[in-house]
A and B are shown apart, each in its own frame.
Chain A
Amino acid sequence: MLNMSTRDGVYNALVEVGQENKDIVVLDADLCESTKTVGFKNKFPSRFFDCGIAEGNMVGVAAGLSAVGKIPFAASFAMFVAGRAYEQIRNSVCYTNLNVKIIGSHCGFSSAEDGATHQCIEDIALMRATPNIMVVSPCDYVETLAVIRAAVKYKGPMYIRTSKFVSESVNKLPYLESFDLKKGVLLKEGNVVGIVATGVEVYFALKAAEFLEADGISVTVLNIHTIKPLDAELILSVARNVKFLFTVEEHSVIGGLGDAVASLVAEEAPMFVKKLGIKDEFGKSATALELLKLSGLDEVGIYKSIRQVVSEREVSGSFSTMF
């Protein structure tokens, strides 16, 4: 089992694609050791540009590089690139529809002990509300390799959300071959509970599913790595096949994967949807796992939230008496 983070995937993937494609350039804002663009920096120093602590300029420079044919990846903490440089992403990258890849690392609680100023829980909301940009949130190291590779082939603005959190890889390496940016991935199929997860929460959702299954509850787990455009077909097919739908993300419950899925389901296949995510409040200093537990986003938290809903609502169900 691979025990690595999605940012570790960035390290290896950028070196790989940089070897193959000389038009790839990488920009960072004084955080290359943290975002893991440092691998590319060491391997291809003439195509790596440290822009210093000036994220707004970095995003504009990326837009200009793209306008003359380069394929720029611009990285910083999600907070400082999707947050601080939001308007530059909107006006210089999305409005222009330029081929710029933004990497927002340390998403959600993964900057942990740094505290709330560094914990970005709003980036998915900001990015998915903006036209033209694809929003991608890989779930593990292996999937990040696939996402970066696909990002080079895809022409257009893309936001890639990565984490510092180290977890067991859900996917295995041959997965790279079958990866499709626009398609979600069914990891487990059942007909009572559907869990739609993204990012590191895919790992926790799978663990929670094991607990639910031990209670006799049949579970579907769907990995949605690309939040925009959403794989509506797959999400709706899951929704139509289960009784309760849950979304899980390390992001605010406002504007993220949960809202994207709930909006889709409300319009196309109305049913019960519960959003599991970070409450509408700021985080604090602690380990990432402690913060995830506080928000009910570890496997136990997810299991408890789902079980509560199922036991409250499934009065006449065959398994309800088990609780």
Chain B
Amino acid sequence: MDVDIEFQLKKLSLKLRVDILKSIYLAKSGHPGGSLSCVDILIYLYKYVLNVHADSLKDENRDRFVLSKGHGAPALYAVLAELGFFDSSELLKLRKLGSMLQGHPNMNTTPGVDMSTGSLGQGISAACGMALGLRLNESSARVYCLLGDGELQEGQVFEAFCFAAHQKLDNLCFIVDNNGLQIDGTIEEVAGFFNLKEKFKAFGLEVLDVDGHNFSDICRAFEKAKQIKGKPSIILAKTRKGEGVYFMEGQASWHGKAPNGKEYELAVGCLREKLKELEGV
């Protein structure tokens, strides 16, 4: 990846982390941990992978994205606002009465949201339907679907994997935000998976391992996923919950809790320091 592009992406990553935390802080509720773990993947997807733009939302041949882990909505909203799908002032109204930004994504109120999600395990099936429908329409559009790793505990996810592999949906790419944590603790403690990679392979998916916070890595994985023929691909992205804010990192307790004023200031201060460091100021 071009060094300059990577630098810009890293800067954007820090900026959007502030946007995410600000929206959750003002909303007084939301899911910071899992938003911070998936935002880098979403930034790369929307800037370099999806052929979707604010002015092409009616184009039937646009790629589709489904945030199956709907609680990552603040990250999706920050990216959509950054790319001009709606005014960034909307982020300040997250979760508030009358806002277009619902607690979990709503395709009927928010420009750029392709599927309403929130109930875990359901977005992935819709993504399968979209991929199948686009193929029937002889469209070259692709479908991307981001899942949480905790979400994989929903049986419907594995129903969908079977369906996608059986239908040979190679226009479909899953991404797993593998931060290893869920509300009640680590995934290993709560309902451990043991060897996800082998499980995915056994379900007929092409598995790609990446560091979900490394843009060069993410770029390579998406490029490779496009080349896979005859089966769906799945990018198993190793991420860190709360990434970028030291006191949230790796903490299950930050799954679904808004920072208070002091915590918010501390987090933003920490992200600004990182930005200065990155810019070499």
Q: A52 near B162 (CB under 8 angstroms)? A: yes
Contact indicator A64/B156 (Cβ below 8 Å): no
What are 19 A-B contacts defined by CB distance under 8 Å? A25-B136, A49-B132, A52-B166, A54-B156, A56-B122, A56-B155, A57-B125, A61-B126, A61-B132, A63-B115, A63-B126, A64-B125, A65-B133, A67-B126, A68-B137, A72-B129, A87-B119, A88-B122, A91-B122
- Listed from nearest, the 7 A-B pairs whose CB atoms lie closest are A64-B129, A60-B125, A57-B159, A54-B159, A68-B133, A64-B126, A61-B129
Per the CB 8 Å criterion, the residue count for chain B at the interface is 36
Give residues of chain A (8-54) contacting chain B, Cβ–Cβ below 8 Å. Answer: 25, 46-47, 49, 51-52, 54
Q: Known contacts being A51-B163, A56-B159, A91-B119, is A69 close to B125, with CB within 8 Å?
A: no
B contacts, CB < 8 Å to A: 60, 64, 66, 106-108, 114-116, 118-119, 121-134, 136-137, 139, 155-156, 159-160, 162-163, 166-167
Give which listed residue, B128, B139, B162, contacts A64 with CB less than 8 A: B128
**Quick check: is A62 within 8 A (CB to CB) of the other chain?**
yes
Complex: A270 Cα to B170 Cα, angstroms: 60
Asked if A154 is an interface residue, CB under 8 A from chain B, the answer is no
Interface residues in A66-124 by Cβ distance below 8 A to B read 66-70, 72, 87-88, 91-92, 95-97
- Contact: B125 with A56, CB < 8 Å? yes
Q: A63 to B122: give the CA distance in the assembly, Å.
A: 10
Task: Please name all residues of chain B whose beta carbon is closer than 8 Å to the beta carbon of A95 when the two chains form the complex.
Answer: 106, 116
Q: Tell whether, in the assembled complex, residue A64 and residue B163 are in contact, meaning their CB atoms are under 8 Å apart.
A: no
Chain B residues with Cβ under 8 A from A47's Cβ? 136
Interface residue total, chain A, C-beta cutoff 8 A: 30
Beta-carbon contact of A67 and B162 below 8 Å: no
A90 to B123, CA, bound (A): 13
Are A88 and B125 in contact (CB-based, < 8 A)? yes
Give the distance in Å from the alpha carbon of A27 to the alpha carbon of B128 in the complex.
13
User: What is the number of contacts between chain A and chain B, taking CB atoms within 8 Å?
Assistant: 112
Name which residue of chain A comes closest to B132, CB basis: A65
Interface centre among B106, B128, B129 (most CB of A within 10 A): B129
- CB A313 to nearest CB in B, in angstroms, measures 48
Report Cα–Cα, A95/B117, bound state, in Å: 10
Given contacts A64-B131, A64-B133, A66-B129, 9 further A-B contacts (CB under 8 A): A25-B133, A52-B159, A60-B123, A64-B128, A65-B130, A67-B114, A67-B130, A68-B60, A92-B116
Contacts of A135 in B (CB 8 A): none
Q: Is the CB of A60 within 8 A of B114?
A: no
**Docked CA distance A91–B160 (Å):** 16
Are A92 and B64 touching (Cβ within 8 A)? no
Nearest-CB residue, chain B, relative to A88: B122
With a cutoff of 8 Å between Cβ atoms, the chain B residues found around residue A25 in the complex are 133, 136
